[in-house]
Each structure stands twice: as C-alpha cells, then as structure tokens.
A and B are shown apart, each in its own frame.
Chain A
Amino acid sequence: MYQFNYERPKTLADAEALLAKSDDPKILAGGQTLIPTLKQRLAMPSDLIDIGGIKDLDFIRAEGDAVMIGAATRHAKVAQSAEVKKHNPALAALAAGIGDPAVRHMGTLGGSIANNDPAADYPAACLALDAKIHTTKRLIEADEFFKGMFETALQDGEIIKEVTFPHPEKAAYMKFRNPASRYAMVGVFVSKGPWGIRVAVTGAGQNGVFRVKEMEEALAKNWSPDAVANIKLPAKGLNADLHGSAEYRAHLVTVMAKRAVAAAG
C-alpha cells in the first residue's frame, strides 16, 4: 500500500469537510474492495476518509411502502434484518449471499454501489427494485446512478447517505457465482412492483449492471419462467475472462432469469 492520510470523522458534515479539503481522497466504508485494491497499489489516494464511525449511516428502517437502509449498513445486518426479510426477502437473500461471513461483517451497501463492480450484487437489486439513492447532495434514481464499469453518477465529495427500496410484490435474485471469488459470474434480479416488471443483470455486462427490456416485456405478458426461456442475449458487449466466455455468460443470463422468475413465484 502507498502511504495515505487516514481520517475517521464522527459526522457526515465532518466527512464532507474532510473530502472538500483533501487533494485526492477516497471514502472508506467496509473496505472489502478498497483495501485489497490499495494493497495491490491499484489506487493511490492522498486521504482515506473512513465513514465507518458515522452512526447515522448505519440503520434499517421500514416506513410506508419501503425499506430505508443506511449507506454504512453491513451486509450481515441486512441479511438478518427482520424488516428486510418481511418486506423484501429477495434483498435479504442477496445480502446473505455476498462474499463470505467475514466479508459480510464488514462490507456495506453504500460501498458496494459506489464502487459499482461489474460483478457486484447490490447494483442488480437497486436497478431491479427501482431504488432511490439519497446522497449528501441529491436523490438519484437507480436507473440514473450506474454509469458503467466502476462508474456512477456520484460527483467528487458526494456521499451516499441511504438507499430506499420500495417493497416488491414479487422478487428474486439468482446468482451463478464464481466458486473462488464468490462474485457473480451472472446474477439476475427479477421483480414485479409498482414500477412494473424489471430484470436486472450483473456480472455479465462489460459496462456493469443492465436491464433486459425484452425479458421485462415478455414477463409483463406472461409472468412465468417459460416467458424468458427463449430470450437469448447477444454475446457482444458481455464479459469474457478466464472464468467464462461471453457466449457462456449470455447463456447463463437466460438460465438465471428463468430460475429467478420461478423462485419469485
């Protein structure tokens, strides 16, 4: 790791002030991606602003037709939350399947979506559940938030505060995971709710998470696994690496979509 200056503010206002006066800061939440990145010297921030000590960012609250989750809430807490399990069991199950138990004790919702790894799980949930991402500056719709591989709509100095997940009527997430890294080779989140029907795919796209309109339209006419069984994505634009070709991932999208619709019931 390169040298950096480390700060652990207690309030969001202090964190914003520290970000504003740093040359090239990075926000540290759970660190489960950032610390390995620093160890490999793939990043060289001047300052690490650790938001792990800001109590106001760690909460789960059900209100009205939605669950609000603070940005620094750990995956393990979301997975075990009675509120999330009751109103949005697919989201609880997604959180329970991230990494391994030790990673889930540290990793956070905000860290996952701010990093926008093309194989991360939470971006698929946000996109499929029409989530609202509240930052220190504004509200960003999930559809507008994910901009490409490791890119989001977040500006310099902007911190995610919480994410609002409206309750779905039906939802499920199915992931075919890499057995070593536990990241999604392909993960498909399907949902039905006030927003209509959504199908979000992670792990497959070169530009990160994306929606599959063709599957959404087919499911709107007929909510059943058969409706998506014959919809194949073109391999163009999908990830290819030593774990699987683009064609293989395209195939997995259809398989995971079928399984997700079946699981959502």
Chain B
Amino acid sequence: MSVISMTVNGKPASADIEARTLLVQFIREQLGLTGTHVGCDTSQCGACVVHVDGRAVKSCTMLAAQAEGAEILTIEGLAPNGELHPVQAAFREHHGLQCGFCTPGMIMTAVDMIRRIPDLDEETVREELEGNICRCTGYHNIVKAILAASQEMR
C-alpha cells in the first residue's frame, strides 16, 4: 500500500491504495464518483473515459499510481454549479442517449475532441468516436449532439 494524491475535479484527493488499483477504481470506489462507468474493462468501450491533464484516457487501462500529481476531470466535474456543460445540454437536446450507460464516456470524449479539433465535421466525429461504444442509439444522435455542441462552443 502507498499513498497517492491527485486533483480530481479541482479538489485534492488522496488515498492509501494497492499499486494494482486502477484509476477507475480509485475514482469510483475511493472517491465515490460513480459517474465514470466500467463497461467492458478491456479498453474497448470507452464508458470509463476521463481527462488526465486535459487528455481523454481510458481510466480502466491506467493505474491510479500513474496519475500521481495529475489533474483529473470526470463527468461530475463538467457541471460544477449544476448547470449543464454545452456538450451535456446538446446530448439532452438531440437525444444523444437512451440507456445512458455509455454517456459519461461519450461526453468526456466529445469534450476532448471539440477542444482538439476546431472544425469538426461528421466524418471526423465518427472517426474520433472509434473508442466509444453505444449499444442503443446507433450513434446518429450522438454525432448530431457533438456537432451541435461544437458549433455552440466555437
């Protein structure tokens, strides 16, 4: 066991954990932030995507210890004052979710791609969603929501 510390959604977080603790376990089980989901646990589905120092990563495929000292942003940190982030609002507006299981990862991936790519088009959005799987929507409304949010945030 050893103590690791990082900043999660702007607040300091630290815990005494086993080296084999995954970042997603630290977030969900130590911090109780269960908005980040574990879908496949094999790096395929993207339900666990969070931002580490501003970059989208799969938190099921990273040790908590690798994030020592890092700034982590989870879905809970997107709307700190209760007002939806533009990407969240666009997902609601465009029906970008059904069961909602993949949604936290989809939204964190969307926020990351909008930050990196100023002129998103449909093809690029679909390529960028390569690592996020949704089994309900058929992706059409997710793509619409991301394009709309991208316009809104420009």
Chain A residues with CB under 8 A of B22: 35
Chain A nearest Cβ from B104, distance in angstroms? 13
Partner of B130 from A76, A105, A182 at Cβ < 8 Å: A182
The answer to whether the Cβ of B71 comes within 8 Å of any Cβ in the partner chain is: no
Interface size class for chain B? 20 to 34
The answer to whether the Cβ of B151 comes within 8 Å of any Cβ in the partner chain is: no
Cβ contacts A122-156/B at 8 Å (1 or 0 each): 00000000000000000000000000000000000
Measured in the bound complex, the distance between the Cα atoms of B56 and A99 in whole Å is: 13
List residues of A (5-27) whose CB comes within 8 Å of B's CBs. Answer: 5-6, 8
Measured in the bound complex, the distance between the Cα atoms of B61 and A38 in whole Å is: 10
A100 engages B46 (CB within 8 Å): yes
The answer to whether the Cβ of A242 comes within 8 Å of any Cβ in the partner chain is: no
Chain A residues with CB under 8 A of B131: 99-103
Partner of A50 from B42, B66, B109 at Cβ < 8 Å: B66
Chain A nearest Cβ from B70, distance in angstroms? 11
Measured in the bound complex, the distance between the Cα atoms of B69 and A213 in whole Å is: 49
A76 engages B43 (CB within 8 Å): no
B20 engages A101 (CB within 8 Å): no
Cβ contacts B40-64/A at 8 Å (1 or 0 each): 0111101001001001111001110
Chain A residues with CB under 8 A of B130: 99-101, 182
B20 engages A32 (CB within 8 Å): no
Measured in the bound complex, the distance between the Cα atoms of B19 and A2 in whole Å is: 10
Count of A residues near B, CB < 8 Å? 28
If A76-B55, A105-B57 touch, whether A6 touches B63 (CB-CB below 8 Å) is: yes
A35 engages B19 (CB within 8 Å): no
A102 engages B65 (CB within 8 Å): no
Chain A residues with CB under 8 A of B113: 101
Partner of A52 from B43, B49, B66, B128 at Cβ < 8 Å: B66
The answer to whether the Cβ of A42 comes within 8 Å of any Cβ in the partner chain is: no
Chain B residues with CB under 8 A of A1: 20
Binding site for B on A (CB under 8 A): 1-6, 8, 28, 31-32, 35-36, 38-39, 48, 50, 52, 76, 99-103, 105-106, 180-182
Binding site for A on B (CB under 8 A): 2, 18-20, 22, 41-44, 46, 49, 52, 55-58, 61-63, 65-66, 68, 109, 112-113, 128, 130-132
